[in-house]
């Protein structure tokens, strides 16, 4: 009996040592990416400066690290999987997603959740897959986060992942900057990790710039204070650029319900109504330029991933879109419906022009 107790104590000690060592590794390895990082611009755009009163097209697409085929459900939303189905499925999903955008002949493309090197995506460099199809575009990549090895769930650890924001432009990008968003300081930061947006300057013939933001706001573990702080920081940068006379276009995954009215109750904790009033008089959600009929026909851009996607049954919501300054006119805005074939998000497209 004493030997049994002794061995049990030894096993317990080993278990505690392993858990303690892992917790120590996560705590020591964790660090935020520094703010105000200058981004490298790969300059391939064949065109010159932008012009006023000319129609341009932009797309934003959260590609969900190439995992979210229609039958995929995610463990952090109550689903089953932590990794994509296979390396081939990642390559298929990302290549199909970017091909969908390529067919739209966009002038600008904003992508979120693009993995460079991730356990969850079989270490496929997804930026390379995007760039391979979007030739003749200048582009940047801003790392959103690089995580420590997450040993959860135990049956399929989410692992170590580096993911970010990829931005493409048919017009030369003269400068680009990564900004670090405020995030939770509680334990949830180890799940939601870093959040960022990327700012790009694209010259216009009137000596102003189109300032293009690619943004991905927090979803998991955020709070009212974090949501407000992130939007306040974003708006401050928008106002700074507008004060210079520039054109401001913010696109991406806002992780807010863009269709809901302020004060509406959210049926899910990760899609609170977007606080339109916080934008002030100089900025608006681009979708607010739509007529009531157009708004009613605007398909939602994201699905819940607690189960596989079932059309007409799975909860969907409008998380993706654009904020514009009052010197930009929206000509058309739509959600490109794929049936969530390649991601848990759908691409959102907008035609716009810069006003004199």
pTM check: above 0.85: yes
| The predicted structure's pLDDT at residue 24 | 64
| The predicted structure's pLDDT at residue 244 | 97
Q: Is the pLDDT of residue 39 over 80?
A: yes
Asked if 214 and 110 touch (Cβ cutoff 8 Å), the reply is: yes
Section 247-264 average pLDDT:
94
Tell which residue, 127, 99, 133, 92, has the closest CA to residue 113.
Answer: 127
DSSP string, 309-338: --TTTS-EE--EEEEEETTEEEEEEEE---
200-212 pLDDT, tens digit each: 999 999 999 999 9
C-alpha span between 43 and 45 (Å, rounded) = 6
316-342 pLDDT, tens digit each: 999 999 999 999 999 999 999 999 999
Which of 1-10, 82-91, 309-318 has the least mean pLDDT?
Answer: 1-10
Section 46-64 average pLDDT:
95
| The predicted structure's pLDDT at residue 8 | 78
Tell which residue, 90, 208, 287, has the closest CA to residue 98.
Answer: 90
What single DSSP character describes residue 77?
A: G
Q: Is the pLDDT of residue 22 over 90?
A: no
| The predicted structure's pLDDT at residue 222 | 58
Structure tokens that stand for 323 in this block: 């904020």
Which of 25-29, 139-143, 232-236, 352-356 has the least mean pLDDT?
Answer: 25-29
C-alpha span between 215 and 200 (Å, rounded) = 11
Q: Which runs of E-coded beta strand occur in the chain?
A: 37-38, 56-62, 108-118, 138-146, 161-169, 175-180, 196-203, 209-216, 247-253, 256-257, 272-273, 283-285, 302-303, 316-317, 320-325, 328-335, 348-354
**For domain 36-354, which architecture applies?**
4-Layer Sandwich (3.60)
Percent of the chain's residues with pLDDT above 90: 73
Section 241-250 average pLDDT:
98
> Please, which pLDDT band fits residue 157 given cuts at 50, 70 and 90?
confident
C-alpha span between 287 and 335 (Å, rounded) = 11
Count CA within 13 A, CB hemisphere, residue 37: 19
C-alpha separations of 140 from 66, 110, 301 in Å: 19, 10, 24
Higher pLDDT among residues 1 and 68, named by residue? 68
Asked if 114 and 63 touch (Cβ cutoff 8 Å), the reply is: yes
What single DSSP character describes residue 186?
A: S
Count CA within 13 A, CB hemisphere, residue 102: 15
Tell which residue, 197, 190, 174, has the closest CA to residue 35.
Answer: 197
| The predicted structure's pLDDT at residue 269 | 74
C-alpha span between 36 and 239 (Å, rounded) = 17
Q: Is the pLDDT of residue 104 over 60?
A: yes
Count CA within 13 A, CB hemisphere, residue 305: 21
C-alpha span between 46 and 141 (Å, rounded) = 19
Query: What are the domain boundaries of the chain?
Result: 1-30, 36-354
256-257 and 247-253 strand pairing = unpaired
302-311 pLDDT, tens digit each: 999 999 999 9
Higher pLDDT among residues 220 and 65, named by residue? 65
């Amino acid at each position: 009996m004493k030997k049994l107790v002794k061995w049990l104590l030894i096993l317990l000690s080993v278990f505690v040592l392993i858990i303690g060592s892992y917790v120590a590794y996560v705590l020591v390895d964790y660090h935020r990416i520094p703010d105000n990082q200058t981004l490298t611009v790969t300059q391939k755009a064949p065109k010159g400066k932008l012009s006023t009163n000319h129609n341009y097209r932009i797309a934003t697409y959260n590609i969900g690290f190439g995992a979210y085929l229609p039958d995929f459900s995610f463990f952090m939303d109550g689903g089953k999987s932590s990794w994509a189905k296979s390396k081939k499925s990642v390559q298929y999903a990302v290549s199909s997603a970017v091909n969908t955008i390529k067919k739209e002949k966009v002038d600008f493309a904003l992508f979120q959740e693009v993995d460079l090197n991730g356990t969850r995506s079989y270490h496929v460099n997804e930026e390379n897959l995007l760039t391979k199809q979007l030739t003749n575009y200048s582009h940047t990549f801003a790392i959103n986060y690089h995580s420590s090895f997450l040993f959860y769930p135990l049956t399929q650890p989410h692992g170590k992942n580096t993911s970010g924001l990829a931005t493409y432009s048919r017009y030369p990008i003269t400068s680009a900057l990564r900004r670090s968003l405020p995030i939770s300081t509680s334990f949830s930061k180890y799940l939601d990790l870093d959040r960022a947006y990327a700012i790009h300057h694209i010259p216009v013939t009137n000596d102003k710039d189109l300032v293009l933001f690619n943004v991905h706001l927090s979803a998991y573990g955020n709070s009212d204070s974090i949501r407000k702080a992130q939007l306040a920081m974003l708006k401050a940068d928008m106002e700074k650029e507008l004060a210079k006379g520039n054109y401001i276009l913010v696109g991406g995954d806002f992780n807010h319900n863009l269709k809901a009215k302020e004060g509406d109750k959210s049926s899910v904790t990760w899609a609170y109504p977007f606080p339109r009033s916080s934008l002030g008089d100089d900025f608006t959600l681009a979708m607010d330029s739509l007529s009531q009929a157009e708004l009613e026909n605007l398909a939602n851009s994201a699905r819940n991933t607690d189960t596989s996607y079932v059309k007409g049954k799975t909860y969907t919501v409008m998380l993706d879109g654009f904020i514009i300054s009052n010197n930009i006119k929206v000509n058309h805005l739509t959600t490109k419906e794929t049936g969530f074939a390649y991601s848990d998000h759908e691409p959102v497209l907008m035609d716009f022009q810069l006003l004199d």
